[in-house]
Amino acid sequence: MRFGFNSFVAGVAVVAMAAVGGVARAEAPDASTPKKAAVAFTKAIVAGDMATVKSLSTGTEAEYALVKTLSEMLAATKRLETAAAKKFGDAGKLPAEASVDVVADMEAATEKLDGETAKMITKNKTEDMNPMTLKKDGSSWKVDLSTLSKDPEAAAVAMMAPSMVKAMDAVTKNIEAGKYKDITEAMTDVATQMAAGAGLGALEQ
């Protein structure tokens, strides 16, 4: 799964949460080029730093609410994998095809400049219909969140995300409490709870 806006909202990704520490004021992120701004924006989403997200982008409150939802989903996924790996070892880690480092994807992306607009094209998603788009703002670049609101998958993810986060956090607590005999049982419970939360009823076994 690659990081255009389209690919970002296509499913849950596993990312490393940015460490927060120290007492000094953090330096303002470098947004002097489209790529630097895009990478900083992506790191802020991963870290759940909405203040930085807003400083590096333009959008409506509804669009920022969606970004926050995606950030919370990433965090819940990371909590689940961390608990599963601790309890079940390597078996608890998500398979490579289900994981993605969205920051690394953006660092490897190519800028496609058109005047004061830039699109970030990721290596394995060159035909993405909704790539991350940035616009020049003075001497800096900012992510244009209107691209996200145009993504037909975004609304679906926004609707599913709360039940997904609730299910993952519930199973995370159950794993920590030793309620599952193996990772298969835990992941089955995640899927069952997600389906129930989405109103899909019981999954076929």
Residue keyed to tokens 């926004």: 158
What mean pLDDT do residues 120-125 have?
82
| The token pair that represents 71 in the structure block | 């950030």
Domain boundary assignment for the chain: 5-18+30-151
List Cβ neighbours of 204 (8 Å cut-off, separation of 6 or more). none
List, for residues 22-66, the tens digit of each pLDDT value.
333 357 899 999 999 999 999 999 899 999 999 999 999 989 998
The one-character DSSP state at 127 is T
- What pTM was estimated for this model as a whole? 0.75
Q: Which amino acid is at 136?
A: K
**Average model confidence (pLDDT) for the chain?**
82
List Cβ neighbours of 17 (8 Å cut-off, separation of 6 or more). 46, 47, 48, 75, 78
